[in-house]
Amino acid sequence: MRLLLPNPGLDDRIHSYEDLERMDKEEAEDRPKWDNKAQYILTCVGFCIGIGNVWRFPYLCQSHGGGAFLIPYLILLVLEGMPLLLMEFAIGQRLRKGSVGVWRAINPYLTGIGIASMLVSLLIGLYYNTLIAWIMWYLFNSFQDPLPWTQCPLNENRTGYVPECQQSSTVDYYFYRVTLNTSASITDSGGLHWPVVVCLLAAWTVIGICYIRGISTSGKAVYVTALLPYVVLAIFLIRGLTLKGAMTGVKFLFTPNLMNPTTWLDAGAQVFYAFSLAWGGLISFSSYNPVHNNCKQDAIILSAVTGFTSIYAATVTYTIIGFRATEKYEQCISENIRTLLNAFGVPENSITTSNYDEAFLHLNSSHPDTILGLDIKICDMHKLLSEGVEGTGLAFIVFTEAITKMPGSPAWAVLFFVMLLCLGLSTLFGNIEGVVVPLKDLGVFPKKWPQEALTGVTCVVAFIFTLLFAQHSGLYWLTLFDNFAGSVPLLSIGFFEMIAVVYIYGVDRFNEDIKFMIGHKPNIFWQASWRIISPLIILIILVFYLVTQTQQQLTYLVWDPDSEEFPTLASIPYPPWINAVIFLLAGIPSLAMPLYALCRLIFVRVPATSQLTSAVHLQVLPQNL
Amino acid sequence: MLEKVLFLLCLTPALAQEPCFPGSSHAYKVRISIKTALGNQAYVWNDNEMYLFRAAMAFALRSYHNGQEFNVSNIMVCNETPRVSFWFVVSSPENSSVLLKKGDVENAIRKSRNRINGAFLLTDQTLEFIDIPPTLAAPVMPVTPPWLIVFGVVMGAVGAGIIFLLVSSLVQSKRKKNKKTLDEDREDMRGIENGLGCDNLGGVYNTTFSDGDKFTPM
């Protein structure tokens, strides 16, 4: 495929090979540099492995049925994830600029891709750090025994618990009422909830200090934030496997369901998000590498590590989920036994867990009316294993409940939330890199400002924006951002990136670059995937996503103590003005590239032609001396 | 006459039995779950344990109604099941045919609940008086919320770190500036030897031996 769009002036915008060699030998570049290769790899691993690996991947794996999901996931990891990864690594290493600089160098009309990456990184960073703030709140509150989410407050006359807590559960109450003070709808903002504000302040300060000098400080922080989660996961794995019911959970995770066409779609989307592609952070990070760094090896290593970690985290998560489900199941059965014993007045040990089923059948056949009046709950293990196992529900409700049932709960709670904190922080480093460096390249900040000032200003401004999530309706705003800011825009940016590199920069030039950097051309697998396979996969996923999103009714789940389905979350439609917000979140970043190209075409092209001719003259003169 | 005597004779036992029946407005149901509470160390419920229960009830009523001397005979039990649940009523010590109101019995039990539980090694949940809810223990709340302490520690450390990093980078940049001006002075000094400037000697300045940097700034 020799399709190549005309791209004049490309050589003037990028370093030539001689320049690169010279910069490499003399180390004359003024860009920051990695202290060693390990720092770079750990930063990328930390960036890719985030909270989603703990609470998104295991849910997908289980809902599509373990084995049936892993195969599409691993196939798409290789066909879609790895080529895009190598492409971002190589282009960053070759052009040695952040995401805006890279696309501007390839063609000034493509700067919109970089701007889109920056906007997406900013929007995702805002709500991601709110999650970090919530995690910090739980972490700060884990240093006490008993844990605060094991207790319900009493009502006024001390005869019972607060009804909201009584009807749901202590963990639900603690999350929705104490931590967030959730209102009943997104329109009901209800003012700021100060514990969240305080934790947001803590979260942005921690990010600020870790990134205060750019990668020279964050590169040191990743030694902890990227490695500690693996250690904690190992501890949890050992603890989890010794718990009762762990293997039930793991079996449930890996038992295949019927093959669903959406399995491939979900697997593809998950691979895309897992690799943090199109955020711009990876391009920035690899631009700090030495010129001859073996980026192909890095891409393969990173893909393998991400795949392995996803499965590893999923296994650990499901041992804990299996334990919790078993505990709840046994509790349910015990309660039913108690009800039966009390109603029929039979001695205590006549009905036990082992003969519960026969006893129940016997009693049901002999006294059906009494049984009906008793309100015996149906104890469904399958339902218990499937409930609340995604997203915030997993971390703050299911896991916290499971931890309270383990001996030594505060220690386990601290470990768990420290792990989540590290996972989140290391992803945020890449995120903030994808925001600060493009802003610097675009000239939003004055050139004289040191890195500390850039980080400081970014963190302060972002803190003010995240106060949106500190409102009582913050949870609903966060879910909105999660659903719309991070899905369609990333896919469209990824698609444009591939098209830009393959058909505007030129895949032949790209191959030559890689040959220059690592010594050999990428083989037929990479060629086929860059030119056809990966763009096609992304396009298919994008189209299906758009189709399903537009067909869906815009509803969301609310915590409403006055609703009939309480404690189950009620589903209510969004208010009509939400469409404008969704357009801002998803539409603007996706359309940034065509919009910028159009604007440049209209406003910059005509006066630029005269500038271009004079620029050419200036370039020619010194060489003639 | 004889029939009247017979009728009265039959009636009295009936009357004596009549006060304690399930659902009576003066009766309380008690449910005891020994095996749930004690597991392997559960004792067997027998008449002696029942006697202890009646004695405990009498004790509770005595401590609540100061002065009135309740006896074990004032506590009547009926409808015992193998579950170990039964109903009981309390009669007044002065007049054994008058039953105590539920409210009084309830208050007496509430007051001495812990002692009654303790006598049987049980808890509020395993020695249940139906319709008497146990007073719930307030949730444990430490004086200073622990999260504030941890938050303070973390923010203090982070704040100190930020100040340290900012100060050290300011110091570094100042040092670099001083070094730069020092280097520039040294370069200016290179053209002067033995305290004499080259141009003072009246010679031609030979550019071969000086740094070209001065003429071709980068």
Q: Which of B140, B150, B163, B177 to mutate to test the interface with A (most CBs of A within 10 A)?
A: B150
Alpha-carbon distance A531 to nearest alpha carbon in chain B (angstroms): 42
Q: Enumerate the known binding-site residues of A.
A: 46, 53, 423
Tokens 């293990």 sit on residue: A381
DSSP per-residue codes, B47-103:
HHHHHHHHHHHHHHHHHHSTT----GGGEEEEEEETTTEEEEEEB-SS-TTSBPPHH
Peptide bond between residue A561 and the one before it cis (omega within 30 degrees of 0): no
How far, in Å, CA of A507 to CA of A4, rounded? 8
Most confident of A21-35, A227-241, A349-363, A553-567: A227-241
Candidates A388, A399, A387, A380; CA nearest to A329 is: A380
Question: How buried is A223 (Cβ within 10 angstroms: 0-12 exposed, 13-18 middle, 19+ buried)?
Answer: middle
A158 dihedral zone (left: phi>0; alpha: psi -120 to 50; beta): left
pLDDT band for position B209 (cuts 50, 70, 90): low
Q: Which residues contact B210 (CB under 8 A, 6 or more apart)?
A: B190, B191
How far, in Å, CA of A302 to CA of A299, rounded? 5
A128: helix, strand or coil: helix
Kindly identify which residue of chain B lies nearest to residue A337, measuring between CA atoms: B36
Kindly identify which residue of chain B lies nearest to residue A209, measuring between CA atoms: B162
Q: Provide, as residue numbers in chain B, all residues whose Cβ is less than 8 Å from the Cβ of A347.
A: 82-84
- What does the pLDDT average to over B1-23? 61
How far, in Å, CA of A403 to CA of A416, rounded? 9
User: Please, what is the average pLDDT of chain B?
Assistant: 78
Of B36, B147, B169, the CB nearest to A140: B147
How far, in Å, CA of A77 to CA of A61, rounded? 14
- What does the pLDDT average to over A15-28? 81
- Cβ distance B83 to A160 less than 8 Å, yes or no, reads no
Q: Provide, as residue numbers in chain A, all residues whose Cβ is less than 8 Å from the Cβ of B33.
A: 348
Asked if residue B97 lies in contact with residue B91, where contact means CB atoms within 8 angstroms, the answer is: yes
How far, in Å, CA of A448 to CA of A430, rounded? 24
CA distance to A55, A401, B99, per residue, from A319 (Å):
14, 14, 58
Q: Which of A26, A197, A205 to mutate to test the interface with B (most CBs of B within 10 A)?
A: A205
pLDDT of B16 over the 60 cut: no
Q: What secondary structure letter does DSSP report for A487?
A: S
Candidates B176, B160, B174, B178; CA nearest to A212 is: B160
Q: Provide, as residue numbers in chain A, all residues whose Cβ is less than 8 Å from the Cβ of B139.
A: 151-154
pLDDT band for position A284 (cuts 50, 70, 90): very high
Asked if residue A44 lies in contact with residue A232, where contact means CB atoms within 8 angstroms, the answer is: no
pLDDT of A609 reads 52
pLDDT of B9 over the 80 cut: no
Residue A305 token pair: 């590590």
Query: If DSSP states are collapsed to H, E and C, what string results for A148-210?
Result: HHHCCCECCCCCCECHHHHHCCHHHHHHHHHHCCCCCCCCCCCCECHHHHHHHHHHHHHHHHH
Tokens 């995937």 sit on residue: A529
Q: Provide, as residue numbers in chain A, all residues whose Cβ is less than 8 Å from the Cβ of B161.
A: 209
Kindly identify which residue of chain B lies nearest to residue A452, measuring between CA atoms: B166
Of B146, B148, B162, the CB nearest to A209: B162
- Cβ distance A152 to B139 less than 8 Å, yes or no, reads yes
Query: If DSSP states are collapsed to H, E and C, what string results for B151-173?
Result: HHHHHHHHHHHHHHHHHHHHHHH
How far, in Å, CA of A400 to CA of A385, rounded? 15
- What does the pLDDT average to over A89-112? 91
- Through-space distance between the first and last CA atoms of chain B, rounded to whole angstroms: 138
How far, in Å, CA of A21 to CA of B59, rounded? 97
Kindly identify which residue of chain A lies nearest to residue B80, measuring between CA atoms: A345
Of B81, B158, B159, the CB nearest to A345: B81
Task: Tell me which residues of chain B, numbers 106 to 165, contact chain A at a CB-CB cutoff of 8 Å.
Answer: 133, 135-136, 138-140, 142, 146-151, 154-155, 158-159, 161-162, 165
pLDDT of B203 over the 80 cut: no
Domains and CATH numbers, chain A: 17-605 (1.20.1740.10)
Of B34, B139, B169, the CB nearest to A153: B139
Low-confidence winner among A1-15, A276-290, A531-545, B109-123 (lowest mean pLDDT): A1-15
Looking at per-residue pLDDT, the higher value among B142 and A598 belongs to: A598
Alpha-carbon distance A212 to nearest alpha carbon in chain B (angstroms): 8
pLDDT of B201 over the 60 cut: no
ipTM of the complex: 0.76
Q: Enumerate the known binding-site residues of A for Na(+).
A: 46, 53, 423
Alpha-carbon distance B180 to nearest alpha carbon in chain A (angstroms): 17
- Cβ distance B149 to A137 less than 8 Å, yes or no, reads no
Most confident of A361-365, A562-566, A591-595, B190-194: A591-595
Alpha-carbon distance A137 to nearest alpha carbon in chain B (angstroms): 8
- Through-space distance between the first and last CA atoms of chain A, rounded to whole angstroms: 42
Q: For CA atoms A173, A179, A181, A186, give the dihedral sign.
A: negative
pTM of the model: 0.84
- Cβ distance B139 to A151 less than 8 Å, yes or no, reads yes
How far, in Å, CA of A270 to CA of A63, rounded? 13
Q: Which of A141, A209, A340 to mutate to test the interface with B (most CBs of B within 10 A)?
A: A209
Q: Provide, as residue numbers in chain A, all residues whose Cβ is less than 8 Å from the Cβ of B151.
A: 140, 198-199, 202
Domain positions in chain B: 17-129, 165-199
User: Please, what is the average pLDDT of chain A?
Assistant: 87
Q: Which residues contact A374 (CB under 8 A, 6 or more apart)?
A: A339, A340, A343
Of B81, B84, B165, the CB nearest to A212: B165
- What does the pLDDT average to over A243-265? 83
Question: How buried is B86 (Cβ within 10 angstroms: 0-12 exposed, 13-18 middle, 19+ buried)?
Answer: buried
> How many residue pairs from chains A and B have C-beta atoms closer than 8 A?
85
State the maximum Cα–Cα separation within chain A, in Å, rounded to a whole number.
109
- Cβ distance A205 to B31 less than 8 Å, yes or no, reads no
pLDDT of A625 reads 40
Question: How buried is B25 (Cβ within 10 angstroms: 0-12 exposed, 13-18 middle, 19+ buried)?
Answer: exposed
Asked if residue A74 lies in contact with residue A303, where contact means CB atoms within 8 angstroms, the answer is: no
